[in-house]
Amino acid sequence: MAFLSEAEIESALLDQLRALGYSIEREEDIGPDGHRPERESHDEVVLRRRFEDAVERLNPTRWCCAGGSRTPSNA
């Protein structure tokens, strides 16, 4: 029985995501020490800015920006 390495599985999955139109970001770019860091440490699982952008894009009438931070419009 043939086994795939973790790298082979990751590569195949990333290829499928690209084919679906997703863009793939590398750790070297968006990681804490990257060129365009999007989190302060690897403990931050959710990329907050991307998450908030998606919530705002999907629910434009529920979210607004106030004073530099995003808050629910009914807060």
* Distance, CA of 2 to CA of 69 (rounded, Å): 51
* Distance, CA of 42 to CA of 8 (rounded, Å): 23
| In the predicted structure, residue 65 carries a pLDDT above the cut 80 | no
What DSSP character marks residue 72?
E
Q: What is the pTM of this model?
A: 0.61
Each residue of 7-48: pLDDT tens digit? 999 999 999 999 999 999 999 999 999 999 999 999 999 999
* Domain coordinates in residue numbering, the chain: 1-42, 45-75
| In the predicted structure, residue 72 carries a pLDDT above the cut 70 | no
What DSSP character marks residue 65?
E
Residue 75, pLDDT score: 54
